[in-house]
Amino acid sequence: MAWDFCTEPEFEAKLEWMRAFVRDEIEPLETLDLDMDTFRRITDPLKDEVRRQGLWAAHLEPELGGGGFGQVKLGLMHEILGRCIYAPSIFGNNAPDSGNAELLAVGGTEEQKQQWMQPLLDGKLRSAFSMTEPGAGADPTLLTTSAVRDGDEWVINGHKWFTSNASVADFLIVMAVTNPDVHPYQGSSMLVVPVDTPGVDIVRDVPTMSHPTHRTGEPGGHAEILYQEVRVPFENVVGGEAGIGQGFNLAQKRLGPGRIHHAMRWLGQGQRAFDMMCERAVSRYTHGSTLAEKQMIQDWVAESATEMQAARLLTLQAAWKMDTEGASTARVEIAMIKFWGARALYNVIDRAIQVHGSLGYTTDLPLEFMYRMARAARIYDGPDEVHKVTIARQMLKRYEPHDVPSEHVPTRRRAAVEKFADYLDAASLNS
């Protein structure tokens, strides 16, 4: 039997080290209002320690400087990193850089790997992924940004937004239509665009629910960008000549793992909210008992624990399928965990806030920030509804139309009578 939910002891020791490191060295940083330089001075030695432990960029294969852990182990690691928003960057696998490095690893030419991917992995460059447009998000076939070949160059024109981290990035990976005469799935390509290329205009970082006072140029922003007659060398198309028209294929390769990595991190965020909720439930006395003794609160604890356990098992099972059969075969499982995980996270944080009452609503606790961040999880990397459509379509493919339902009892009974006729006497048939 291969069903096994155990973690091997050597790996469990690594996880234990990670838990203590995130809790003791990284989580305290959340309480400080640090400028970027001070943050870097504090976190550079932490990154060195992570490298020494062999845990840097765990999502990548060893030949790319990663640990080559595979998705299941990565899931258990990301669960720990997900507790704190700073932890992924200190472990060398923060979005969007991690996804872009993976994209260049699977689809880039050797030169692109040298020029863009390696410095990204070494933490020397930062990147952003520029796909969504004000008029095209959940349906990327509506993208209008174009890249037209002109001799040895591409000329890019378009309007993007929600390009996370673009205002602090060194280069952008831009999805553009390179052949408008075929279906977008075959007519789109990805291009590497250095941010300082003439014609790249970072209009602003759009303030959001999670960062309402965000100023353009700070990490974590979501940039609106105009591309006006932006010229990049022909070889900047990801994958070179062979990459022309491969934009959607590459996007799938990037987004599949990216989605499950988000889901893995949500497990850690959800657990942290759950821990706060339970701690408060056993601590707060009101109306004659602690909150923990009230059935309505017990209901929330039970619902939350079960939703999170379901999310954890769905995530690890999807990860196992990716490890054993490849990312493309786990499409449905990834879609399931993308929407279920986001919802579980949102529900648990919401209940944790409620259990804390007015305190939960204040910035004296991290819950209100976690709640605002969690809301976006139901939208980015494809909104819930689109993932449900993917799941439903795949499920429904397994069924044929029937004029009479295949479970129709009178019809089945007639067939059963015929099948067992030798055993049935007239009396039993009539009874």
Ligand X SMILES: Cc1cc2nc3c(=O)[nH]c(=O)nc-3n(C[C@H](O)[C@H](O)[C@H](O)COP(=O)(O)OP(=O)(O)OC[C@H]3O[C@@H](n4cnc5c(N)ncnc54)[C@H](O)[C@@H]3O)c2cc1C
Cis before residue 180, ω within 30 degrees of 0? no
User: CB under 6 A: which stretch of 298-306, 322-330, 384-392, 407-415 binds ligand X?
Assistant: 384-392
Of 351 and 378, which has the nearer Cβ to ligand X? Answer: 378
For 186-217, give the DSSP string: HHEEEEEEETTSTTEEEEEEPP-SS-TT--TT
127: burial class by Cβ within 10 Å (0-12, 13-18, 19+)? buried
The rounded distance, in Å, linking the Cα atoms of 328 and 10 is 30
* Residue 176 Cβ vs ligand X, minimum distance, rounded to whole Å: 12
* One of 143, 300, 382, 391 touching ligand X (CB under 6 A): 382
* One of 15, 148, 203, 389 touching ligand X (CB under 6 A): 389
Does 184 sit near ligand X (CB under 6 A)? no
* One of 113, 123, 383, 390 touching ligand X (CB under 6 A): 383
Tokens of 34: 């640090």
Interaction pattern, residues 321-360, with ligand X; x per rule: CB under 6 A: ----------------------------------------
The CB-side HSE value for 284 (13 A sphere, CA atoms) comes to: 20
Of 70 and 383, which has the nearer Cβ to ligand X? Answer: 383
The rounded distance, in Å, linking the Cα atoms of 85 and 94 is 9
User: CB under 6 A: which stretch of 50-58, 134-142, 235-243, 396-404 binds ligand X?
Assistant: 134-142
Of 36 and 379, which has the nearer Cβ to ligand X? Answer: 379
Residue 254: count of CB within 10 angstroms of its CB: 26
Number of residues near ligand X (by CB under 6 A): 21
b or e along 53-82 (b: 16 or more beta carbons within 10 Å of the residue's beta carbon)? eebbbbbbeeebbbbebbbbbbbbbbbbbb
User: CB under 6 A: which stretch of 131-139, 281-289, 330-338, 352-360 binds ligand X?
Assistant: 131-139
The rounded distance, in Å, linking the Cα atoms of 244 and 247 is 7
* Residue 21 Cβ vs ligand X, minimum distance, rounded to whole Å: 27
Does 69 sit near ligand X (CB under 6 A)? no
The answer to whether 268 and 341 are in contact (CB under 8 A) is: no
The rounded distance, in Å, linking the Cα atoms of 143 and 412 is 52
Does 138 sit near ligand X (CB under 6 A)? yes
User: Which amino acid makes up residue 258?
Assistant: G
Of 46 and 250, which has the nearer Cβ to ligand X? Answer: 250
Does 269 sit near ligand X (CB under 6 A)? no
* One of 43, 93, 112, 164 touching ligand X (CB under 6 A): 164
DSSP 237: B
Listed residue (47, 50, 258, 217) closest to 126, CA to CA: 217
The answer to whether 245 and 179 are in contact (CB under 8 A) is: yes
The rounded distance, in Å, linking the Cα atoms of 138 and 233 is 30
Judged by CB under 6 A, the chain residues 80 through 99 that form the site for ligand X are 96
* Residue 354 Cβ vs ligand X, minimum distance, rounded to whole Å: 24
Of 100 and 315, which has the nearer Cβ to ligand X? Answer: 100
Does 163 sit near ligand X (CB under 6 A)? yes
Does 171 sit near ligand X (CB under 6 A)? no
* Residue 430 Cβ vs ligand X, minimum distance, rounded to whole Å: 53
Binding site for ligand X (CB under 6 A): 96, 129-132, 137-139, 162-164, 222, 376, 379-383, 385-386, 389
